[in-house]
């Protein structure tokens, strides 16, 4: 068990971030959320996430700051003087990063530098960095292990995440900070962003709209339920509080893969409705396969994912229908 801490959570109003904030508050920690509430998807969703924890009387502060702006980030860290930082904020998504790579580089690389430098200047030496399975690119070794050589990423998004890991390594080497990078594998669950596949497919099938399937349905993903990701993040927080290596990288996945066709079938079954599928060519930048080797996380973080896709999809659909109860169309 770790003692209570002051923790800054960047991106704390988002999908993963809001779940992490709830877990931290349940653990008695004092949390400061840094989020810019951008319009990548409806900001009202993020504001509702924030309301869910600001109304519970817990020790939480919310600061609306863009990570690309150095002075506000530096000033917040100087004032809060956090014991640890959980850096989840990023521009996410492979396809949008291809359309606007500069935005991704400015937010995910420069923004991560700002977080690391502000942490250093404030005296905070403990950082968790949210990376991505996308860094593995076209790796031929399956499942993916953290020590695989990473020779080529496939999208600007993936490149920014790998660059973020490298910046973390720099700060460990140069400044003695203790940093863990967590490679998330396709996270889903209650609260998932509406633009992501499981949520958008569910919404379309439920409301009789067609869904877009890129490729022939054989691409495979290691879908990871949000509760399992949060468990891994909390394990990593305990890890950086310990006496182990200063820099580690961990996969956080479910340790099983599901094809796109199987995913659509699982959503159809949970909804009790058939999908109308619009078949499109494969998209550049998409990985044909993600598969996590989680041996290291099991061993060092006590990570034990407990929600396979066959259980997670019905849970997500139940949440979705509760959220939209009474909605017409």
Q: Which of 157, 188, 223, 320 is catalytic?
A: 157
**267-299 in b/e burial notation, b at 16+ Cβ within 10 A?**
bbebbeeebebeeeeeeebebebbbbbbebbbe
Contact between residue 72 and residue 48 where contact means Cβ atoms under 8 Å apart: no
157 is catalytic: yes
Dihedral sign for Cα 96, 102, 103, 104, please. positive
* Positions marked active-site: 157
């Amino acid at each position: 068990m770790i003692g209570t801490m002051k923790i800054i959570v960047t991106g704390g109003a988002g999908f993963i971030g809001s779940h992490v904030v709830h877990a931290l508050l349940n653990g008695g920690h004092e949390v400061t959320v840094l989020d810019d509430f951008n319009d990548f998807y409806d900001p009202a969703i993020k504001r509702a996430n924030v309301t869910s924890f600001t109304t519970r009387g817990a020790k939480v502060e919310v600061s609306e700051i863009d990570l690309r702006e150095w002075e506000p980030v530096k000033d917040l860290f100087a004032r809060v003087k956090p014991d640890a930082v959980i850096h989840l904020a990023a521009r996410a998504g492979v396809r949008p990063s291809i359309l606007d790579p500069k935005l991704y580089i400015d937010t995910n690389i420069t923004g991560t530098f700002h977080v690391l430098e502000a942490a250093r200047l404030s005296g905070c030496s403990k950082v968790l960095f949210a990376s991505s399975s996308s860094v593995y690119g076209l790796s031929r070794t399956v499942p993916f292990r953290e020590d695989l050589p990473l020779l080529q990423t496939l999208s600007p998004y993936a490149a920014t995440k790998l660059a973020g890991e490298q910046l973390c390594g720099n700060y460990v080497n140069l400044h003695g900070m203790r940093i863990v990078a967590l490679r998330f594998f396709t996270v889903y669950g209650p609260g998932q962003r509406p633009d992501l596949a499981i949520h958008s497919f569910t919404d379309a099938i439920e409301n009789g709209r067609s869904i877009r399937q890129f490729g022939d349905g054989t691409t495979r993903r290691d879908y990871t339920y949000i509760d399992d990701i949060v468990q891994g993040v909390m394990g990593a927080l305990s890890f950086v509080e310990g006496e182990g290596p200063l820099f580690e990288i961990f996969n956080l996945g479910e340790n099983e893969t599901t094809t796109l066709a199987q995913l659509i079938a699982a959503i159809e079954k949970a909804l009790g409705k058939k999908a109308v599928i619009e078949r499109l060519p494969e998209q550049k930048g998409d990985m044909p396969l993600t598969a996590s080797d989680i041996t290291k996380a099991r061993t060092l973080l006590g990570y034990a994912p407990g929600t396979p896709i066959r259980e997670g999809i019905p849970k997500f659909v139940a949440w979705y229908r509760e959220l939209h109860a009474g909605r017409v169309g």
